Amino acid sequence: MTQKPPRRGTALRLHRQLERIWSPDPRFRGWLTTNNNNDVGRLFLAVATLFFVIGGLLAMLIRAQLATPGSAFMGPEAYNQVFTMHGTVMMFLFAIPFFEALAVLLLPGMLGTRDLAFPRLGVYGLWVYIFGGSAVIVAMLMGLSPDGGWFMYPPLSSAAFSPGIGADVWLLGITSIEVSAIATAVEIVVTVLRYRAAGMSLSRMPIFAWYILVVAVMILTAFPPMILGSLLLETERALGWPFFQVENGGDPLLWQHLFWLFGHPEVYIIFLPAAGMIATILPVMARTTLLGYGWVVAAAVSLAVLSFGLWVHHMFTTGIPHLGLAFFSAASTLVAVPTSIMIFSWIGTLWKGRVQMKLPMLWLLGFFATFVIGGLTGVMLAIVPFNWQVHDTHFVVAHLHYVLIGGYVFPMIAAVYYFQPLLTGRFHYFRLGAVAFWLVVPAFHITFLAVHVVGLLGQRRRTWTYDEGQGWELLNLIASTASFVMAIGFALVILDIGITTFSGLRGKRNPWGATTLEWAAPMPSPAYGFASIPIVRGRYPLTDDPDLPQRIARGEGYLADTSRNRREALIVTTTTGKPLQVAVMPGNSALPILLAVVTSTSFLAPLVQAYWLSALALVGVVIVALVWVWTTAPRQSEGLVDAGHGARLPVAAESPDPPGWWGSLFLLVADGVHFGSLMFGYAFLWTVAPNWPPPSYLVPTLLPVLLALGGAAALAAGPRLAARAVATGHRTALALVLSLFGALSLATAAASVMLARQDPAGHAYDAALWLLAGHVGFHAALAVIMLGYLALRRISGHGLRVGEARIVSLWADFTAATGLVALAAAWLPGTFA
Amino acid sequence: MTNILRLALPFTIWLIGFSAIYALQGLTCSRHWPEELEPRLALIGGAAVFVVIQGLALAALLALQSQSRFVQTAATILGTAALAAALWTVLPVLTITVCG
Amino acid sequence: MLAGSLAILVLVLALLIAALLRRPAQSDDSERGTGLWLWTLGLAFPLTTLAALTVYGLQMGERLLPRDTPDLVTVTAEARQWAWTFGYPDAPGLATDGVLHIPAGRPVDVQITSRDVVHSFWVPRLAGKLDALPGHVNVLRIEAPAPGTYSGQTAEFNGAGYAGHVFTVQAHDPAAWVRFLQEGPP
């Protein structure tokens, strides 16, 4: 670069123009209509912290109860609700949303872009989470919590043994939060793959981006089994479909498989973002680079997939044959290998650098001291005979707290301290943070070492009290006392961060001497993030080019031109990071919160038996979603636009693969896993459940089979023809009619299954058939709605875009393919029986 | 995108193979399927097919080079690791009591 | 296993402290050290320890499997909220509530099932736990080394009465066992 005099004027003018374009509404309503990642992330973070406090208070109640034998503080009814809620709140309402919040806040900066790929989807996810989480807490305050433990094993959680709405609160509330997590995950995946700085190839991505990409894909593949499990249990509770009732062909083990198919990856979904933070912060604290970047990426990917092969290790005591257990025991020990690679990569990084003992580093040391112990007890638990002894004792409780608090909470506290200057523009100056650290970490170890021992001495988890004389009194008293000290320490951490946020010192950019792009933004990061999209040439852009922040601010990157007067971001090729398209981001809007309101209503109304309201809200979901899509779609074509640096790029909406296409692709991954789980459940009941085969089979007739085959073919071909017609400028009407015919035929074929078997409550076979047919019907209805939208676009004269037709084509293909598989699974057994 | 798939492929195959072996174990013990084969032979056969496919995946990754050097290296590491993982996780079929 | 874990913990923490104390004159941004940190410590070290541990654990598990032996005794255990009923195929019609009677010094197969929700059968001094699932019968092999009383408990959360859901195992010498089968509990 040639020497240029500083041009502050340019930077300031650009800043003012971008502020005007990107700012939320300054009035209070701005909080409800903003979709900027800074605002969404902050709200997300605040709400998740609030849930952490609630979960912590519940933990204190548990320890107060267990402090002494024969405690009269709580009875079993209250205690069972408290421990169930503690687990539920911490796992679902705190852990996952908290790292999502940090990702929403930091990811655009790290990747060198201005916002996440689908800003409105992010807001929607936030509000669904707030509404669902609040409903769960309100139910708790009314004494209507679930009380079956956070993994809700049926038949204990079935209607017969858990009457009342406690279990329904759990199922519906948690499912809505999972919907929110999936929305955020889709947003994260597409952002990491497509929205990056120019020149940021895969190998130049900051390490956190790799971790969070892996985690987001895991959310898309691990949550659907849980959502299916919840759907099965809720239909059993509400409608009597006997998925888990042995007498009618169900099996309670099916729940355990579906739950742990989600539940084990969940542990790594929680750990990996924290690991990503460690890998980000640790090299900066040691003033060096991460040792073995490629190793760590490979370890993260393999850890993610291996974690899906461990679920049965939560079921070692269910009577599965020893060979089956042996597979999972082997896989469970194997998972320690990538973990070990990460740990030693980090220690090796510290070795080659000069470590500065700042507050974030202190918490990272807390992580090491704690997590390694948790990992070792985890390996012990993978050993089958040992597991048979300590399963469901306090040993397991202590192990999981070592892993989750040591492996997640401590690194996340480090991350909050580390990124606080960037997020608030203020610096930590108080000694309180160190005091809090020295309260939390030693107290944590005293608490949970005692809990380990008491577990080895045979104290079962989830018992509301215990008798004297078993040698547990002293250990429990120590654990409880230390846990209160730990709670005070956590309170001080929150207080410390709060004080700094509102009264810390202002300071200069990049205080830690970090090497990644998020520190190139002004502090605190403005709504637009970067004044221009940076151009990077290596993995450590701020080391390569210390002037980069100024150059970005002066508009020397891409998209510095504000004359189009709209929010724009750069889309790059996935592998090489070459500029590809210009994405136009939506402005402030109340539509996301409105959609969240109707979605949450449709989820929560069944709790008060208001099924009509639920149905009405579902119609609302369709209407609001259509308005949303309709108003964000561009009105006219503009061809290639100037992106700066002489690049003339197409607008994303006019490309054959707009962001919506990528988003749909990954949403369909989740949908596909959901469908796969449904097929697994059907096959599982067929092979394992007692009382199978069913008393009679569904025998298909010729007409529905022909309808299904013809419908699927038409549905696959129609949208393709439409996309081609749009691209070549031909008429699309015929193709759309063909698609519509296909969707309706497929739906009719599915309806024939339900008509032939009118009692889904009779046997799990019939209930499964209804779900298979329901899957087909639901997706066919979705296809009809999408086709209607395409037709409206065409009639309205705004014109159809290839991208839109291709998105519908993607959904239509999925509907046709899974529809055929579902109907074949429904019909084939009857054909051959 | 194909580069991302390249990275995801080896362990996805491992997961499918691992689940398949576990399912085969369940089927052969609870439903005596496949009927003609002795359970241990069926499982060893299944495990062999799994390992061979995993090896073929590695061979394919090595044969079809990616234009990105980073992706190529990472995919090779992941392919090798997944093959090792496949061998590790199927070893019990040789020694552990079947259907006990 | 505990000693091994402690050794690993000490090793990792010692390396960590050494890394913290080491203050090289200049930070090293290179990738030197992958051989030691990643190949040796990250990969080879856990692979060997885990291989040994897994093989050991699986062998242990093999030895605990219920195999056919000549002097095997079978009993049944049916759980419900919040009680256990035990049956004795050797003495049809005989059933005991809350106390399982077995002969000492002989292998016993407990056929475990449930009438309502999921429970788990656990006598810590005799064996690990095994779940009682409605619709399934799981078989646990136990053997009491000497006559006497062994306490047992349910080990899967099963509702409001979980804490008090306990039972005992009464192991008899051969004569007392024969008497029990003929006359029922004393």
Say what the pLDDT of residue A7 is. Answer: 54
Say what the pLDDT of residue A365 is. Answer: 96
Residues of A in contact with C112 (CB under 8 A): 319
Please tell me whether the interface predicted TM-score (ipTM) of this complex is above 0.85.
yes
* Residue carrying the six token digits 């479909």: A241
Query: Chain C within 8 Å of A770 (Cβ-Cβ)?
Result: no
C-proximal residues of A, 238-267, CB under 8 Å: 246, 251-253
Supply φ then ψ for residue B82, to 5 degrees. Answer: -70, -35
Largest CA distance in chain A: 86
CB contact (8 A) between residue C156 and residue A385: no
- Same domain? For C86 and C173 the reply is yes
Size of interface B-C (CB pairs under 8 A): 11
From C67, which residue of chain B is nearest by alpha-carbon distance? B100
Indicate the residue among C51, C67, C83 that finishes a domain: C67
CB contact (8 A) between residue C38 and residue A348: yes
**Under the phi-then-psi rule, with left for phi > 0, alpha for psi from -120 to 50, and beta for the rest, what region is A513?**
left
CB contact (8 A) between residue C58 and residue B100: no
Residues of B in contact with C67 (CB under 8 A): 100
Beta strands at C138-142 and C108-114: parallel, antiparallel or unpaired: antiparallel
| Best residue of C49, C50, C58 to probe chain B, by most B CBs closer than 10 Å | C58
- Same domain? For C107 and C125 the reply is yes
Reference A829, options A697, A696, A678; nearest CA is A697
- Same domain? For C54 and C95 the reply is no
- In degrees, rounded to 5, the angle at the alpha carbon of residue A521 between the alpha carbons of residues A518 and A523 is 105
DSSP one-letter code for A165: S
Distances (CA, A) of A599 to A173, A350, A623, C97: 12, 48, 11, 51
CB contact (8 A) between residue A321 and residue B68: no
* Residue carrying the six token digits 């050794």: C7
- Same domain? For C162 and C81 the reply is yes
Touching B: which chains, 3+ CB pairs < 8 A? A, C
For residue B49, which amino acid is it? V
Evaluate if residue A565 carries a pLDDT over 60. Answer: yes
Distance in angstroms (rounded) separating the CA atoms of residues A124 and A120: 6
Query: Chain C within 8 Å of A476 (Cβ-Cβ)?
Result: no
User: Tens digits of per-residue pLDDT, C26-40?
Assistant: 777 777 888 889 889
Query: A118-122, A237-241, A821-825, C35-39: which range is least confident on average?
Result: C35-39
Distance from CA of B12 to the nearest CA of C (A): 21
- Same domain? For C82 and C174 the reply is yes
Evaluate if residue C136 carries a pLDDT over 70. Answer: yes
Residues of B in contact with A327 (CB under 8 A): 18, 21-22, 25, 89-90, 92
CB contact (8 A) between residue A391 and residue C134: no
- Report whether the peptide linkage leading into residue C82 is cis, meaning its omega lies within 30 degrees of zero: yes
From A388, which residue of chain C is nearest by alpha-carbon distance? C128
For residue A392, which amino acid is it? D
CB contact (8 A) between residue B97 and residue C58: no
Query: Chain B within 8 Å of C115 (Cβ-Cβ)?
Result: no
Distance from CA of A407 to the nearest CA of C (A): 15
Distance from CA of C51 to the nearest CA of B (A): 9
DSSP one-letter code for A25: P
Domain total in chain B: 1
Query: Chain B within 8 Å of C28 (Cβ-Cβ)?
Result: no
Q: What is the CATH number of the domain that holds C149?
A: 2.60.40.420
Task: Note whether residue B88 is domain-resident.
Answer: yes
Task: Note whether residue C164 is domain-resident.
Answer: yes
Distance in angstroms (rounded) separating the CA atoms of residues A551 and A418: 25
Say what the pLDDT of residue A790 is. Answer: 93
Distance in angstroms (rounded) separating the CA atoms of residues B88 and B65: 27
Do A819 and A712 meet the contact criterion of CB atoms below 8 Å apart?
yes
Task: Note whether residue B50 is domain-resident.
Answer: yes
Distances (CA, A) of A817 to A1, A711, A813: 54, 11, 6
DSSP lists the bridge partners of residue C110 as: C75, C140
CB contact (8 A) between residue A161 and residue C124: no
- Same domain? For C176 and C99 the reply is yes
From A161, which residue of chain C is nearest by alpha-carbon distance? C117
User: Which domain, by its residues, includes B32?
Assistant: 2-92
How much is the CA Rg of chain A, to the nearest whole Å? 27
Helix/strand/coil (H, E, C) string of A373-441?
HHHHHHHHHHCHHHHHHHCCEHHHHHHHHHHHHHHHHHHHHHHHHHHHHHHHCEECCCCHHHHHHHHHH
CB contact (8 A) between residue B95 and residue C58: yes
Supply φ then ψ for residue A791, to 5 degrees. Answer: -60, -45
Do C59 and A384 meet the contact criterion of CB atoms below 8 Å apart?
no
Evaluate if residue B33 carries a pLDDT over 80. Answer: no
Query: Chain B within 8 Å of A494 (Cβ-Cβ)?
Result: no
Do B6 and B71 meet the contact criterion of CB atoms below 8 Å apart?
yes
CB contact (8 A) between residue A323 and residue B1: no
Task: Note whether residue B98 is domain-resident.
Answer: no
Size of interface A-C (CB pairs under 8 A): 227
- Same domain? For C56 and C142 the reply is no
Q: With the C-alpha atoms ordered B10, B15, B17, B18, is the resulting torsion angle positive or negative? A: positive
DSSP one-letter code for C22: -
Reference A523, options A554, A541, A549, A556; nearest CA is A549
Distance from CA of C91 to the nearest CA of A (A): 26
pLDDT class for A626, splitting at 50, 70, 90? very high
Q: With the C-alpha atoms ordered A476, A479, A484, A487, is the resulting torsion angle positive or negative? A: negative
Q: Mean pLDDT, chain C, as a whole number? A: 91
Distance in angstroms (rounded) separating the CA atoms of residues A300 and A275: 9
What percentage of chain A has pLDDT greater than the value 90?
84
Task: Note whether residue C156 is domain-resident.
Answer: yes
Spell out a b/e string for A77-99, using b for 16 or more CB atoms within 10 Å of the CB, else e: eebbbbbbbbbbbbbbbbbbbbb
Evaluate if residue A6 carries a pLDDT over 70. Answer: no
Task: Note whether residue C166 is domain-resident.
Answer: yes
Distance from CA of B100 to the nearest CA of C (A): 7
Distance from CA of C185 to the nearest CA of B (A): 33
| Best residue of A313, A323, A574 to probe chain B, by most B CBs closer than 10 Å | A323
Do A212 and A273 meet the contact criterion of CB atoms below 8 Å apart?
yes
Helix/strand/coil (H, E, C) string of A580-614?
EEEEEECCCCCHHHHHHHHHHHHHHHHHHCCHHHH
Q: Which of A201, A304, A323 sits opposite B96 (nearest CB)?
A: A323
CB contact (8 A) between residue C32 and residue A376: no
- Same domain? For C49 and C95 the reply is no
- Segment A416-437 shows an average pLDDT of 89
Size of interface A-B (CB pairs under 8 A): 106
Q: Name residues whose C-beta falls within 8 Å of residue A537's C-beta, 6 or more positions apart in sequence.
A: A199, A544, A545
Distance from CA of C107 to the nearest CA of B (A): 16
Distance in angstroms (rounded) separating the CA atoms of residues A291 and A282: 11
Task: Note whether residue B100 is domain-resident.
Answer: no
Evaluate if residue A1 carries a pLDDT over 60. Answer: no
Query: Chain B within 8 Å of C31 (Cβ-Cβ)?
Result: no
From B99, which residue of chain C is nearest by alpha-carbon distance? C65
Say what the pLDDT of residue A2 is. Answer: 40
Reference A408, options A377, A379, A366, A378; nearest CA is A366
Q: Which two tokens stand for residue A541?
A: 């852009």
Say what the pLDDT of residue C32 is. Answer: 81
Task: Note whether residue B51 is domain-resident.
Answer: yes
Reference A255, options A282, A237, A280; nearest CA is A237
Task: Note whether residue B82 is domain-resident.
Answer: yes
Q: Mean pLDDT, chain A, as a whole number? A: 93
* Residue carrying the six token digits 């074949």: A824
Task: Note whether residue B68 is domain-resident.
Answer: yes
User: Which domain, by its residues, includes C49?
Assistant: 38-67
The B-side interface with A (CB below 8 A) comprises 1, 3-4, 7-8, 11-12, 14-15, 18-19, 21-22, 25-27, 29-31, 43, 67-71, 73-74, 77-78, 81-82, 85, 88-93, 96-100
Task: Note whether residue B12 is domain-resident.
Answer: yes
- Same domain? For C43 and C79 the reply is no
Distances (CA, A) of C63 to A385, A391, A443: 10, 19, 40
Evaluate if residue A4 carries a pLDDT over 70. Answer: no
Distance from CA of A104 to the nearest CA of C (A): 30
- Segment A289-317 shows an average pLDDT of 92
Do A112 and A533 meet the contact criterion of CB atoms below 8 Å apart?
yes
From A79, which residue of chain C is nearest by alpha-carbon distance? C160
- Same domain? For C149 and C172 the reply is yes
pLDDT class for A460, splitting at 50, 70, 90? very high
Say what the pLDDT of residue A426 is. Answer: 86
CB contact (8 A) between residue C62 and residue B92: no
Residues of B in contact with C61 (CB under 8 A): 96
Burial (0-12, 13-18, 19+ Cβ within 10 Å), A15: middle
C-proximal residues of A, 680-739, CB under 8 Å: 689-691
Domain total in chain C: 2
Give the count of beta carbons closer than 10 Å to the beta carbon of residue B56: 12
Q: Mean pLDDT, chain B, as a whole number? A: 90
Task: Note whether residue C56 is domain-resident.
Answer: yes
User: Tens digits of per-residue pLDDT, C42-56?
Assistant: 899 999 999 888 888
User: Tens digits of per-residue pLDDT, A279-293?
Assistant: 999 999 999 999 999
Say what the pLDDT of residue A635 is. Answer: 81
Say what the pLDDT of residue A381 is. Answer: 87
Q: Name residues whose C-beta falls within 8 Å of residue A590's C-beta, 6 or more positions apart in sequence.
A: A29, A32, A33
Evaluate if residue A8 carries a pLDDT over 80. Answer: no
Give the count of beta carbons closer than 10 Å to the beta carbon of residue A234: 18
Distance in angstroms (rounded) separating the CA atoms of residues B42 and B84: 22
Distance from CA of A672 to the nearest CA of B (A): 15
- Segment A265-270 shows an average pLDDT of 94
DSSP string, A56-100: HHHHHHHHHHHTSTT--SS-HHHHHHHHHHHHHIIIIIIIHHHHH
- Same domain? For C47 and C90 the reply is no
Stronger pLDDT, A670 or A391, i.e. the higher one: A670
Distance in angstroms (rounded) separating the CA atoms of residues C22 and A25: 52
Q: Which of B26, B74, B88 sits opposite A330 (nearest CB)?
A: B88
Residues of B in contact with C66 (CB under 8 A): 100
Distance from CA of C131 to the nearest CA of B (A): 16
Touching A: which chains, 3+ CB pairs < 8 A? B, C
Reference A291, options A344, A337, A335; nearest CA is A344
| Best residue of C117, C126, C137, C165 to probe chain A, by most A CBs closer than 10 Å | C117
For residue A665, which amino acid is it? L
Residues of C in contact with B96 (CB under 8 A): 58, 61-62
pLDDT class for A567, splitting at 50, 70, 90? very high
- Same domain? For C130 and C62 the reply is no
Distance from CA of B60 to the nearest CA of A (A): 18
Distance in angstroms (rounded) separating the CA atoms of residues A16 and A476: 60
User: Tens digits of per-residue pLDDT, A516-530?
Assistant: 999 999 888 899 999
Do A98 and A129 meet the contact criterion of CB atoms below 8 Å apart?
no
Distance of alpha carbon A776 from the chain centroid: 26
pLDDT class for A3, splitting at 50, 70, 90? very low
Say what the pLDDT of residue A719 is. Answer: 95
